[in-house]
Amino acid sequence: MSDPEPCIRVHHAEPLEGEVLVPGAKNSVLKLMAASLLADGTFELTNVPGIADVGIMAELLRAIGVTVTQTPEYGVVQIENRGDLTPVAPLDLVDRIRASINVLGPLLTRCGEVTIAMPGGDDFGARPIDMHIAGLQAMGAHFEFDGGTVIARAGRLRGAEITFDFPSVGATENILTAAVLAEGWTVIHNAAREPEIIDLCEFLNEMGARVNGAGTSTLRIEGVPPGALHGCEHVTVPDRIQAATYIAACAVTRGRLDLLNAQSRHMAMVLSRFGDMGMEIEALPYGLRVAAPNRLRSADVATLPYPGIATDYKPLIITMLTVADGVGVVTENLYPGRFAYVEELQRLGADIKTDGHHALIRGVDRLVGTD
């Protein structure tokens, strides 16, 4: 007799109370791991989340020629780069996480060439890498396309002035990591400003790079000579999306939580919106204290590039609004689609209607269990 299909069973309980530790951000640590391709030496990343994507990125780096040792119980990843790199990212690994595209900039600037399949990962709709390619072309790279494979070549990249049409996180990361070993100055206008971008800038500077303007829309990078970068130790920035997930769980159960390691300065806009919905939020020296003593109030929310409300918060906000008092509208301004979970919330008894980039949520008293 075959084993039953794996599942998680959730039973209604009392309001959530207690404390929980917020680990390092997935959206940072994967990019830090890719950036280790830039330099020979030993890197130690701490506060690393124990998630499958870290293991997949480790496999990808090993395939390229780097030694990776994981100690998940302590949140540590050690990377040893001896410079014997094969600048090819295998399709079977690239297709499993979209962060695999982050090896493009480091391998191109370090090795002068890279072959990589178009990345997989979450289904957010079309996510072209046109801005990555245009920026690297401005720095002297040449691209060929063979089906779903991208082949990039360059001598030493040259600094350039690059302006993005949109503050793309991925494009900012790839141009940034390519620029640290390019000749001369690179200036990125309309750069992404997320905390994870700041974390990457700090990591690169700890390696010996010269990056200025982290956290602003203009990044200025002075390229250093090949071989000038080195290994380092780095603590991964806490995961603001995971922190918000715990806050949403607290909100829908009318609970009270202490979020250890949560950084309120990275979540200012969404915390303000949670406050508008009736949550009590207090910044503490060691994190955040949140409580939802009463039923939430409905609100209208729109996603925007950082420091606006991230699209990753949207499923959490919609879930909170399903049990709030009143009617709220959530507008997606960044990516098409991304409402696939709404049908599942409707199965739980939520009253949600979607129309293009908008979701209208009429709060109900409570949700009900289902498969």
- Asked if residue 124 has pLDDT above 50, the reply is no
Q: Could you tell me if residue 40 is left (phi over 0), alpha (psi between -120 and 50 degrees) or otherwise beta?
A: beta
Q: What is the pLDDT of residue 280?
A: 98
Tokens of 355: 């129309």
Q: What is the pLDDT of residue 196?
A: 98
The Cα–Cα gap between 29 and 72 comes to 13
Q: What is the mean pLDDT of residues 37-62?
A: 97
- Give CA angle at 256 (251, 257), nearest 5°: 100
Q: What is the pLDDT of residue 126?
A: 45
Q: What is the pLDDT of residue 358?
A: 95
- Asked if residue 121 has pLDDT above 60, the reply is no
Radius of gyration of the CA atoms of the chain, in A: 22
Which of 63-72, 210-219, 231-240, 337-346 shows the lowest per-residue confidence on average (mean pLDDT)? Answer: 337-346
Q: What is the mean pLDDT of residues 19-46?
A: 98
**pLDDT for 263-298, tens place per residue?**
999 999 999 999 999 999 999 999 999 999 999 999
Tokens of 159: 């600094």
Residue 16 DSSP one-character state: P
Residues whose CB falls within 8 Å of the CB of residue 119, separated by 6 or more in sequence, listed in order: 94, 95, 97, 98, 99, 100, 101
Give the three-state DSSP class for 8: coil
**What is the band of 118 on the pLDDT scale with cuts at 50, 70, 90?**
confident
Tell me which of 92, 122, 123, 130 is the catalytic residue: 122
The Cα–Cα gap between 115 and 118 comes to 10
- Asked whether the beta carbons of 339 and 359 are under 8 A apart, the reply is yes
**pLDDT for 348-366, tens place per residue?**
999 999 999 999 999 999 9
Tokens of 111: 């090795």
Q: What is the mean pLDDT of residues 182-205?
A: 98
**What is the band of 334 on the pLDDT scale with cuts at 50, 70, 90?**
confident
Tokens of 248: 């949403």
Q: What is the pLDDT of residue 3?
A: 61
Q: What is the pLDDT of residue 125?
A: 41
Which residue in 220, 206, 121, 107 sits closest to 157, CA to CA? 107
Taking the CA atoms of residue 192, residue 196, residue 202 and residue 205 in that order, the dihedral angle to the nearest 10 degrees is -60
- Asked if residue 120 has pLDDT above 70, the reply is no
Residues whose CB falls within 8 Å of the CB of residue 370, separated by 6 or more in sequence, listed in order: 347, 348
pTM for this predicted structure = 0.94
The Cα–Cα gap between 217 and 201 comes to 13
**What is the band of 88 on the pLDDT scale with cuts at 50, 70, 90?**
very high
Which of 107-111, 120-124, 280-284, 338-342 shows the lowest per-residue confidence on average (mean pLDDT)? Answer: 120-124
Q: What is the pLDDT of residue 2?
A: 59
The half-sphere exposure of 123 on its side-chain side, counting CA atoms within 13 A, is 4
The Cα–Cα gap between 234 and 353 comes to 44
- Asked whether the beta carbons of 245 and 316 are under 8 A apart, the reply is yes
Using H for helix, E for strand and C for coil, what is the string for 94-129?
HCCCHHHHHHHHHHHHHHCEEEEECCCCCCCCCCCC
Q: What is the pLDDT of residue 123?
A: 43
**Residue 122 annotated in active site:** yes
- Asked whether the beta carbons of 331 and 339 are under 8 A apart, the reply is no
- Average pLDDT of the residues of the chain: 94
The percent of residues above 70 in pLDDT, for the chain, comes to 96
The Cα–Cα gap between 154 and 136 comes to 9
**What is the band of 119 on the pLDDT scale with cuts at 50, 70, 90?**
low
**What is the band of 338 on the pLDDT scale with cuts at 50, 70, 90?**
confident
- Asked if residue 1 has pLDDT above 70, the reply is no
Q: What is the mean pLDDT of residues 177-184?
A: 98
Q: What is the pLDDT of residue 90?
A: 85
